[in-house]
Structure 1
Amino acid sequence: MEAHLDVAYPFTGTWRVQNSPADRVPSHGTAALASSHAIDFVPVTADGKSAPIRLASLLRTEPPDRFPGYGRPILAPVDGIVVATSDDATDHDAYRGVPSIGYALTQQQRLAGGWPNLAGNHLLIESDGVVIALCHLQRSSLRVTPGERVRTGAPIARCGNSGNSTEPHVHVQAIDRVDVEQARAVPLSFRGVLPHNGDVLDVPE
């Protein structure tokens, strides 16, 4: 039987689902780097919206702190052991409108830098033989170190815009080993459910 990991949501508050394997596999359009079952969550306001789009938003990049979820707490989705962390990547500007086209054209360049370059600030937690990765975290926000045991719901970092990210969000994927470039994807569910693209989740504290 294929491995499967059921986890808690790694946050509270209101978030929108994006790139979900409930809608397509591979969820991100590629099976590379064990991302077939990865899922993205974008922090939004209570009415389900990201930062307001103005004319300037369509013409130039925007600082990440304009977005409602930048810096929101990220929580451990499982009980487990932290097995890897990275915390020094820059939180770059967000890309919407015309700037997003140029950003998309440089995707291959970022891919050539390997998984750490795409993930940005990240941490990996091993639980029952499966490793869960949380990516695009805020620089210098990690509150855990490798070898540390964490409990579900414990604050571990903050939402950022590092790595391959067009706006602040958290990318979650499960894999069968720590070496992401050699790993296989493991299907995920969240409290027994796999949310669909566009779903707006209101996760209580």
Structure 2
Amino acid sequence: MPEPVVLSLPFTGRWLVQNSPARRVPSHGVELYGMRYAIDFVGVDERHRTSPVRDWRTVLTTEPPERFVAFGRPVLAPGAGVVVHVHDGEPDHEARRSPFALAPYALGQAGRVRQGPAAIAGNHVVVALAGRRAWVTLVHLRLGSLRVRPGEEVAEGQVLGECGNSGNSTQPHVHVQVTDSPDLAVARGLPTAFRDFRERPHRGGAALERDVGVPDERSVVEPLAAGPAGS
């Protein structure tokens, strides 16, 4: 296996880790669209809630994406490089926590896959990382929030857009993956790790400060260089 591509976390504040390659590979259960080592981050508040609101809609139906902590948070370049592809125009659809809403959505998964990468990734940015033949893609961005264009050089930490709920997403989150090609239709995933972050284990215990690593499933992470926790 090649050495992992090491990135910075593409955000500030606290985020819950889901579909981590530390738990399994392929992390999302499929090899499609370069997702072998992809990882998801869901924004949380100081109480580690993805949304401070729970009501009848949470139990029975869909919810507006604006209810969720992650929605609209800035998404940052996790490494320096050149933007090679930008896709915008996909709507931010309703979020789903209810089993009644999740079941029919899951049944539509095959249809979304047949529609191609845009239906899965939603609004997204692909950056060719400086110094190595690898491309990082940031997925499910908010409609109309993208701030970069193809050919633009970006610095690590530069704002690329905002977290949204576009594409194949049940609630607002950021999906990050590194691949050997910018073309998601043929790309293969590359191992990925992150630098300089604090990790709070899902099972409790003291927070860990990690120089380089892959955060565990259901842990909560934040960059060490970030401002006040939960910002």
Q: Same fold (TM over 0.5)?
A: yes
Runs of 4+ residues over 4 Å off in structure 1: none
| Sequence identity (%) | 44
Match for residue 40 of structure 1? 40
The partner residue of 2:148 within 144, 148, 159 is 144
The TM-score normalised by the length of structure 2 is 0.86
1:156 CA displacement: 1.0
Q: CA deviation at 1:3?
A: 5.0
Give the secondary structure class of the aligned counterpart of 2:63.
Answer: coil
State the partner residue of 1:92.
93
**Unaligned runs of at least 5 residues, structure 2:** 196-211
CA displacement 1:40-92 (0-9 Å, x = unmatched): 00011111111133232121111100111200000000000000001111000
Q: How does 1:100-179 map to 2 (within 5 A)?
A: 100-127=102-129, 128-179=132-183
- Which one has the largest radius of gyration? 2
Superimposed CA distance per residue, residues 84-135 of structure 1 (whole angstroms, 9 cap, x where no aligned partner)? 0011110000011110111111101111111111000000000121000000
Instruction: Give distance in 2, aligned partners of 1:177 and 1:3.
Output: 17
Q: Distance in 1 between matches of 2:180 and 2:161?
A: 23
DSSP-derived class of the 1:182 partner: coil
Residue identity matched to 2:43: P
Range moving further from structure 2, 179-188 or 139-148: 179-188
**Structure 1 equivalent of residue 184 of structure 2:** 180
- Relative to the length of structure 1, the TM-score reads 0.97
Counterpart residue type for residue 107 of structure 1: Q
Amino acid at match of 1:163: G
Task: Provide the secondary structure at the position in 2 that maps to 1:189.
Answer: strand
Count of residues in correspondence between the two structures: 205
Instruction: Report 1 or 2 for greater relative contact order, CA contacts < 8 Å, sequence distance ≥ 6.
Output: 1
Query: Could you tell me how far 1:178 is from its partner in structure 2?
Result: 1.1
State the SS of the aligned residue for 2:185: helix
1:73 aligns with 2:64: no
Unaligned runs of 5+ in 1: none
- CA RMSD in angstroms comes to 1.1
- 1:193 aligned partner, one-letter code: G
CA contact (8 A) 2:31 2:188 kept: no
Q: Secondary structure at the match of 2:62?
A: coil
What is the CA–CA distance in structure 1 between the aligned matches of 2:13 and 2:142, rounded to whole Å? 18
Give the equivalent residue in structure 1 for 2:213. 193
Counterparts of 1:56 and 1:129 in 2: how far apart (Å)?
45
Alignment of 1:56-67 (within 5 A): 56-67=57-68
Counterpart in the other structure of 1:22: 22
One-letter code aligned to 2:24: R
Secondary structure, counterpart of 1:85 in structure 2: strand
